[in-house]
Structure 1
Amino acid sequence: MGLLRWWQITLVIVSLLLSSSVDGSQTYYDHESLDNFLRKQAMEEIKTPRTGVVYNVSLPSNLTGMEVSVIRMRSFSLWLRGMNYSFIHLPPRILPRPSEKRIAILYENLGNWSSQYYHVPNHTMVAPVIGVLAYSSSESALLDEKINFTTHRDPISIWFPHVNQHGKNNTPICVKFSAGRLVKFKNMTQPYVCETRSQGHYTLVVPSFPSPKEPNTGRHSKGVTTWWVLGFVIGFVGLVILVLILVALVKEAKKRKIGEMERNSAAGEPFDTFWIGETKLPSASMLRTQPILEN
């Protein structure tokens, strides 16, 4: 029973080590929860917003690196004039769906948090993720219900001023993240500019396959680390198995020695026996040889 328990404990330890070493994939945070948090943060901070004024939303220290802004506009003004803010250009002839008298545009720049919330398989992000989200707006709620909008003439333009140069021969590609982290690709029509006709989150990516002149040292070091961890796990398992075998051999040797002693005892002068608990012990007779007096 004790040996079986040792095996169970060993299997649990091995499974934990293997799960921590083999499953080395990055964990991503829920971007929908982030959008809801940023929306609530803007509503709590901006109590009486003025139409046409851009408000920068302050964020807690654990989200340092993000930038969030919000502006409330009349739908008629957006249709007539459009809007230019920071690195986003909303052209004229934009209509919200469903129709609203006022709408609010929430601008998000995830900065160095981009790779924690979004991921493009087999690609590397070279620019931060920028979000453009539209909400219905009223006197009682700055950001009420999320809505969509459509452009009837020119597309929406999103500039990316901070782009990491990831190889001279790699031209970035525009990426849009949709619900369920569905990724849509589109080539740039202007340098570092994405064009779209709907709200969402956007970034620039390049293929992550290494070129022959630029070996992927990061992936190599990760592979070396993984093999080192696997080697340690295999060595640990082998050591545990060896200890269990030695314990089993020692127990078997003691068992054989006790059996041999019992057989030798049975071949000699018989003794009476008695039991103490579960232990069988020999008992000598109470009769003793009478002494003989010498003359």
Structure 2
Amino acid sequence: MALPLGPRFLFLLLIQALVPPSSLQLHLDPGLIDRIVRDSAFRSYLVDHQKTAVVYNVSLPPSIPGVSAATVRFRTGSLRRHGAAVGEFRVAPGVVVRPRSRRLVVVAQNLGDLSSAYDGYRNISGFRLVSPVLGLLFYRAASVRNASVPPELEILATRGPITVDFSGLARCSRGSRVLCALFESDGNLSLSNATRGGTMCRARTQGHFALVVESAGSGGRSGGETEMEMKLSGWKVVVVSVAAGAFSSVLLGLVAVAVVTAQRKRMRTAEMERRAYEEEALQVSMVGHVRAPTAAVVRTAPCLENDVAPSW
């Protein structure tokens, strides 16, 4: 049973015989490329690719020249326990798949010359690609047999990252800082630092990745803005440090005042108790010009039991 083709895909195949490939590239967008690669990968499982955990190269139509793709099917539990390696991608163990699926199909793609389709992202201006765009997408494997449109799955790497190795694919760009670009589904571009000498990217989820550098036309402006941001960041650090030091000093002062006040209150209470005890025990009386403590009368006054005088 063949996988149904979308109307845009059929239209693209129809006009491919009439329009040169160079002109056809102008009508391609990233979403359409992903759908063409996805449909080709799923059709390959209905013909040749039957084994699990085996990487197969995908035969792509001439409407997307220069693009290459590979696909492999996994059990979700096995992928979570052991991870996977597909082309330039390494998926560490511990991935979480949403929504849940017993089996899934991984499609890795290299857009090659069609990487320029991602030039339309909103904040790509000021940067230029120095590597092809590599894509890693996950689909529910149950759609291979029931001839339905395969839904794209979301994955999250919880233990180790997903790494993308651009060794041998990146064009040399001396004197520029190489950044990793993640092309998100909402049309935004996320940048992060490349590792291992500017040839490896790390991510926590699937998507499309590439290496970029600042374009020559905006290098001075971007460099100035970066330098200004660094200066502003330095001032922010100084201001925050001073504010934190002042706050700490005020806090220590308040603590010291509280300790001294509590100590004085305890001393005052002890003095009042001592005075109260002394005034209760001994009264002070004036004997001439001398103040002397005197004791209160505590004995009972003697009295005779009878008026009879003793016999002695």
| Contact kept in structure 1, 2:180 and 2:212, CA below 8 Å | yes
Q: Closer, same or farther in 2 for the Cα pair 1:127/1:140, shift >3 Å? A: same
Aligned AA (2:166):
F
Partner of 2:128: 124
Partner of 2:194: 188
SS in 2 for 1:61: coil
Deviation at 1:28, TM superposition (A): 6.8
Partner of 1:109: 110
Partner of 1:170: 176
Deviation at 1:62, TM superposition (A): 3.6
Identical columns (%): 28
Aligned AA (2:66):
G
Map 1:62-81; keep pairs closer than 5 Å. 62-81=63-82
Deviations 1:236-267 (A, max 9, x none): xxxxxxxxxxxxxxxxxxxxxxxxxxxxxxxx
Partners of 1:28 and 1:121 lie apart in 2 by 21
Give the unaligned 5+ runs of structure 1.
1-25, 213-295
| Stretches of 4+ aligned residues off by more than 6 angstroms | none
Deviation at 1:46, TM superposition (A): 2.2
Partners of 1:54 and 1:71 lie apart in 2 by 5
Partner of 1:51: 52
SS in 2 for 1:69: strand
Partner of 2:261: none
Partner of 1:36: 35
- The answer to whether 1:209 aligns with 2:216 is yes
Q: Closer, same or farther in 2 for the Cα pair 1:153/1:135, shift >3 Å? A: same
Deviation at 1:116, TM superposition (A): 3.0
Give the unaligned 5+ runs of structure 2.
1-24, 221-312
Deviation at 1:76, TM superposition (A): 0.8
Partner of 1:223: none
Q: Closer, same or farther in 2 for the Cα pair 1:141/1:183, shift >3 Å? A: farther
| Larger Rg over CA atoms | 2
| Contact kept in structure 1, 2:105 and 2:138, CA below 8 Å | yes
Deviation at 1:188, TM superposition (A): 1.4
Partners of 2:183 and 2:34 lie apart in 1 by 13
